A and B are shown apart, each in its own frame.
Chain A
Amino acid sequence: MTGSATRLLLRFNLRRDRLMLLWWVLGAVLLYWSQAVSVEGLYPTQAEFDRAAASMADNVAFIAMAGPARALNTVGGQVAWQASAFGAVVAGLLSMLLVGRHTRAEEESGRDELVRAGAVGRRAPVAAAGLTVLVANVLLGGLIAASLVGYGLAVAGSVSLGLAAALAGLVFGSVALVAAQLTDGTRAMYGITGAVIGASYVLRAVGDVANGALSALSWASPIGWGQAMHAFSGERWWPAFISVAAVIVLLAVALRLFDRRDIGSGLMAARPGPSRAGARLRGSLGLAWRQQRASVAGWAAGLFLTGLAYGAIGDDVKDLLGDSQFAQDVFVQGGGTIVDSFYAVAVVMLALMASGFAVSSAMRPRGEEDAGRLEGLLATGLTRRQWAATYLAVTVAGTVAVVVAAGLGLGLGYQLVTGDGSAVGRLLGATLPYVAPVLLLAALTWLAYGLSPRWAGFGWVALTFCVVVSFFGELLQLPYWVVDLSPFSHLALMPAEPLGWGPLLALLAVAAALGVAGTGALERRDVR
């Protein structure tokens, strides 16, 4: 009876998850496969490849970011190095989300009660959630391996990489299952699991860089276990058993905890919060900020670290890129030195990432409306325009903060490696003007939302378009008018070129106009 209920729930889960699974698995496969493609194209001769590999292996920042440097002068070695740590994180996040969706979120919404009231064993929903994670990771690992074999890499190494990713996903999924028993909310569960994933990444970073006893820290990290399988550099399989053992132990703990607690509760009691609102929360601006402050801090920290990583490449750009025509084509578009051109591209990449924050922040109001909280707010003395203004203010301030964090990271990273004291000012100055196109995307999202909440997702379409134009515009030979549609196409390529004020002000003006139009549209329509 229980078995068939579990099977039914599993089928139901997979049906609910199929789109989410598709995109995550595709994204993960692309992460590995694209490394192979990009490395292959970059270095026309083995000599150049060897030189670049030597330069990478010397760069401590790279090792901290990616993992131990092994066989970097082979395509397989490069894929393993560049993709395995991030791939493990991706698999971990996917598994965490799946566990959250099918355990805590179900309990919070009360749907779980409905299911358990049926002829279903007590453990069936948990078992089904676990099996969903298993299916997801088998798919993820299998397709990663298949895509690499399909590309023409050695079978053993490809399987090793796929297996490492899948095992990392299973370990983090099991951590999530334990966390789901401890907390009484989905967000707290994501917090704990996210912290474990983050700690695993940092532990192996320290371990990989350190020489002495500290290097053992890599063995304390599930990501380190995967990288210890040495894909494409003399595979060894026994570290996989560490992951399997960890999964078994964690699942046993999760089931014991599950059997001990009541439905809807967690083992850790919820902490009471303040009974009165602080002075800062007593207004729409306070509310908008309270809801997004964690997101602003997270994006700013993420982009600071990404900036730091780009900056830490320092002046090694030339060695890394090699003399290939491809690299010249991509990076030396605006004249100037290859180093400046590289940073001009890095700045655009950081700006496009910052747009992820801007678009999601501009979509927050839709979340409020969908959740039915907007009507309660607008039933007070708050006008729609005031409400809109507070959310826009947080989006603008948050966007500036995130872009500044990216620019600071870039400058600091460069300064740390080269000792060039002027780098922070120069690279921050090159990044800051990109606030304009990023805000324009946010304003476009806002306009779409103002017209109808159903259209707010258009912001992501616009951002995807900008990414394609910025990175594949030349390659695809898109016509100029298509390229010009992207707001990122209009700024000078700083720091390779000097800043032009005209385009910057024009972009800001368009963003402001879209923002005003969006608010006007919101004032005229029905609120759901």
Chain B
Amino acid sequence: MDTVIEISGLVKRFGATTALDGLDLTVRRGEVHGFLGPNGAGKSTTIRVLLGLLRADGGTTRLLGDDPWRNAAELHRRLAYVPGDVNLWPNLTGGETIDLLGALRGSLDDTRRAELLERFELDPTKKGRSYSKGNRQKVALVAALASDVELLLLDEPTSGLDPLMEAVFQQCIDEFRGEGRSVLLSSHILAEVERLCDRVSIIRAGRTVESGTLSELRHLTRTSVSAELATPPAGLDRLDGVHDLVVEGNRAVFEVETERLGDALDALGRFHIRSLTSQPPTLEALFLRHYGDQLTAEAQEPRGRRQPQESQEPVR
């Protein structure tokens, strides 16, 4: 199997805090890989280790088949990076910044640069200090997408983009993948991940808790079912894997663990189904499944005593 990123057991500590605690991540060539986790879970730290900016304290990290700490600069010619917080030089224009980054990377396609500026509706003559957050991100995106690289590392690249630009971004990523190239996309925007990503890794507190295709992951959670039947159903509550059952006359609404979906439909069949809607779990449901307990725990704990999640990553 051809992989562009291969991380296993990655550990990174900042003083007393452990930011990454045995993280695993595999990104295959030609896929868009979603990297999910709440603030402070260690997404940015992982990407910064991949870029050779941080030195790992344990585990192995292979980027494009090489060691990212030792051969950082050579590897960087083959990838482009868009940080979540784009900081530009205040006295350089956006156009100058794009050219500078391209020259340092060693590749910049002028035609593509012009085309991307148009698609993202970015004015390259404005000074870095006068761009809004979204426009700063566009500068970094144009610089990254106009370069001839085989891998994109994107750290929440669209948090400042409006929905129109978000659509342009998604088209660009589709085209990029269409050429057989790979993307690691860290994101909060679950709809974006659902739309773009072939596979997803969910991390929590510096550890990978789930990894696979969306349909693989969906098997691990519940499908919601709403059925209208000929006769009032009975005995559904005794089925394994059925939760939150509500029966009102001939109607039944419930959630069922996806691997038990067949059994549930068999049971419904005995009451003659008139209409049926079943909704596959959203990514949001997947995500909350891993963090739901944390949300409840946080709601219960007094605010002052809780360790803020953000503290796991160094303040920049």
Give the complex CA separation of A58 and B297 in angstroms: 82
CB-CB contacts below 8 Å: B46-78 with A = 48, 51-55, 72-74, 76-77
Leading 8 A-B pairs by shortest Cβ distance: A277-B99, A272-B125, A282-B103, A273-B93, A380-B104, A275-B95, A379-B81, A372-B87
B104 touches A381 (CB 8 A): yes
A284 on interface, CB distance cutoff 8 Å: yes
Selected contact of A380 from candidates B54, B87, B105, CB within 8 Å: B105
Taking each of A185, A375, A377, A383, which has the highest tally of chain B beta carbons within 10 Å of its own beta carbon?
A375
Stretch at the interface among B126-134, B194-202, B276-284: B126-134
Residues of A within 8 A of B97 (CB): 277
- Whether the Cβ atoms of B124 and A275 lie closer than 8 Å is yes
- Whether the pair A281, B76 counts as a contact (CB closer than 8 A) is no
Can you report 8 residue pairs joining A to B where beta carbons are below 8 Å apart?
A274-B96, A277-B96, A373-B88, A379-B153, A381-B73, A382-B104, A526-B53, A528-B316
Set A187, A291, A528: member contacting B314, Cβ < 8 A: A528
Assess A275 versus B81: contact at CB under 8 Å? Given A282-B99, A371-B87, A373-B89.
no
Bitwise interface map of B from 102 to 129 toward A, beta carbon under 8 Å scored 1, else 0: 0111100000000000000001111101
**Is A316 an interface residue, CB under 8 A from the partner?**
no
Complex contacts, B89 vs chain A, CB 8 Å:
287, 291, 373
Whether B316 pairs with A275 at a CB distance below 8 angstroms is no
Q: How far is B136's CA from A373's CA once the two chains are assembled, in angstroms?
A: 12
CB-nearest residue of chain A to B101: A380
Q: Is B83 an interface residue (CB 8 A)?
A: yes
CB neighbours of B91 from chain A (8 A): 187, 290-291
Tell me how far the C-beta of A378 lies from the nearest C-beta in chain B, rounded to whole angstroms.
Answer: 6
Name the distance in Å between A381's Cβ and chain B's nearest Cβ: 4
B210 at the binding interface (Cβ < 8 Å): no
CB pair B140–A376 under 8 Å, yes or no, is: yes
Q: Which residues of A contact B54 (CB under 8 A)?
A: 526-527
Main SS of the interface on chain A? loop
Are the C-beta atoms of B106 and A381 separated by less than 8 Å? yes
Known: A273-B125, A283-B104, A528-B314. A375 touches B53 (CB 8 A): yes
Q: Which residue of chain A has its CB nearest to the CB of B114?
A: A275
The answer for the CA separation of A274 and B94 in the assembled complex, in Å, is 9
Q: Which of A273, A276, A381 contacts B105 (CB 8 A)?
A: A381
> With a CB–CB cut-off of 8 A, which chain A residues contact B106?
380-381
Q: Which of A273, A291, A378 gathers the greatest number of chain B CB atoms within 10 Å? A: A273
Query: Which of these, A185, A276, A525, contacts B130 with CB under 8 Å?
Result: A185
State how many angstroms separate the Cβ of B283 from the closest Cβ of chain A: 28
Bound Cα distance from A139 to B178, whole angstroms: 67
Cβ contact within 8 Å between B96 and A276: yes
A276 to chain B minimum Cβ distance, whole angstroms, is 5
Complexed CA–CA distance, A291 and B90 (Å): 10
Docked Cα-Cα span, A382 to B106, in Å, equals 9
**A340 interface residue, CB < 8 Å from B?**
no
The interface residues of chain B lying within 8 Å CB-to-CB of A155 are none
Whether A377 pairs with B104 at a CB distance below 8 angstroms is: yes
Any chain B CB within 8 A of the CB of A245?
A: no
A108 at the interface (CB under 8 A from B): yes
**Minimum C-beta distance from B73 to chain A (A):** 4
In the complex, what residue of chain B is closest to A370 when comparing beta carbons?
A: B316
Which one of A282, A381, A527, A528 contacts B76 once the chains associate, using CB atoms below 8 Å?
A381
Task: Tell whether, in the assembled complex, residue B73 and residue A382 are in contact, meaning their CB atoms are under 8 Å apart.
Answer: yes
Residues of A within 8 A of B53 (CB): 375, 378-379, 526-527
A505 touches B (CB below 8 Å): no
Interface hub of B98, B100, B127, B316 (most chain A Cβ within 10 A):
B100
A184 sits at the interface (CB 8 A): yes
Asked if A248 CB lies within 8 Å of chain B CBs, one says no
Which chain A residues lie closer than 8 Å to B127 at the CB level?
185, 270, 273
Q: Is B7 located at the chain interface by the 8 A CB criterion?
A: no
Interface string of A378-406 (1 = CB under 8 A from B): 11111110100000000000000000000
Show the binding face of B for A, using Cβ within 8 Å: 48, 51-55, 72-74, 76-77, 79-81, 83, 85-93, 95-101, 103-106, 123-127, 129-130, 140, 153, 314, 316
Residues of A within 8 A of B101 (CB): 376-377, 380
Given A184-B130, A275-B124, A276-B96, A284 contacting B72 (CB threshold 8 A): no
Query: Residues 495-528 of chain A: 1 if any B CB is under 8 Å from the residue's CB, otherwise 0?
Result: 0000000000000000000000000000011111
Residues of B within 8 A of A380 (CB): 73, 76-77, 101, 104-106
Chain A nearest CB from B15 CB (Å) reads: 11
Nearest Cβ in chain B — how far from A286, in angstroms? 8
Chain B residues, Cβ within 8 Å of A108? 129
Interface centre among A275, A276, A286, A372 (most CB of B within 10 A): A275
Q: Is the CB of B81 within 8 A of A274?
A: no
Q: Which residues of A contact B125 (CB under 8 A)?
A: 272-275
Say whether A381 contacts B81, CB under 8 Å.
Answer: no
Cα A79 to Cα B174 in complex, Å, equals 73
Apart from A287-B100, A371-B87, 6 more pairs, CB < 8 Å: A185-B129, A187-B90, A272-B125, A273-B92, A287-B89, A373-B87
Q: What's the least CB distance linking A205 to chain B, in Å? A: 31
- CB-CB contacts below 8 Å: A345-374 with B: 371-373
B81 touches A372 (CB 8 A): no
| Binary flags per residue of A446-459, CB closer than 8 Å to B gives 1, else 0 | 00000000000000
Contact indicator B104/A272 (Cβ below 8 Å): no
Question: Distance in Å from the Cβ of B85 to the closest Cβ of chain A?
Answer: 6
Known: A291-B89, A371-B87, A380-B76. A281 touches B52 (CB 8 A): no
Within the assembled complex, what's the spacing in Å between the Cα atoms of A202 and B87?
38
Q: Are B126 and A277 in contact (CB under 8 A)?
A: no
CA A284 to CA B130, docked complex, whole Å: 23
Which residue in chain B gives the minimum CB-CB distance to A382? B104
Please encode chain A, from 22 to 63, with 1 for each CB lying within 8 Å of some chain B CB and 0 for all others. Answer: 000000000000000000000000000000000000000000
How many Å from the CB of A296 to the closest CB on chain B? Answer: 15
A290 to B93, CA, bound (A): 12
Determine how close the nearest CB of chain A comes to the CB of B144; give it in whole angstroms: 9
Chain B residue numbers with a CB within 8 Å of A382 are: 73, 76, 104
Decide if B104 touches A526 in the complex (CB within 8 Å): no
Distance in Å: Cβ of A520 to nearest Cβ of chain B: 14
With contact pairs A185-B130, A275-B95, A380-B105 given, residues A372 and B316 touching in the complex (Cβ less than 8 Å): yes
B74 partner residues in chain A, CB cutoff 8 A: 381
A164-200 residues at the B interface, CB under 8 angstroms: 184-185, 187
Interchain nearest-CB distance for B146 vs A (Å): 13
Give A138-169 as 1s and 0s: 1 = Cβ < 8 Å from B's Cβ atoms: 00000000000000000000000000000000
Q: How far is the CB of B34 from chain A (nearest CB, A)?
A: 21
A272 vs B79: C-alpha distance in the bound complex, in angstroms?
A: 31
Contact A283 B103 (CB under 8 A): yes
Q: Is the CB of B126 within 8 A of A270?
A: yes
Chain A residues near B130: list those with CB within 8 A: 184-185, 270
Q: How far is the CB of A294 from chain B (nearest CB, A)?
A: 9
Chain B residues near A377 (CB-CB < 8 A): 101, 104
A187 cross-chain contacts in B, Cβ below 8 A: 90-91, 129
Complex Cα–Cα for A527 and B98 (A): 22
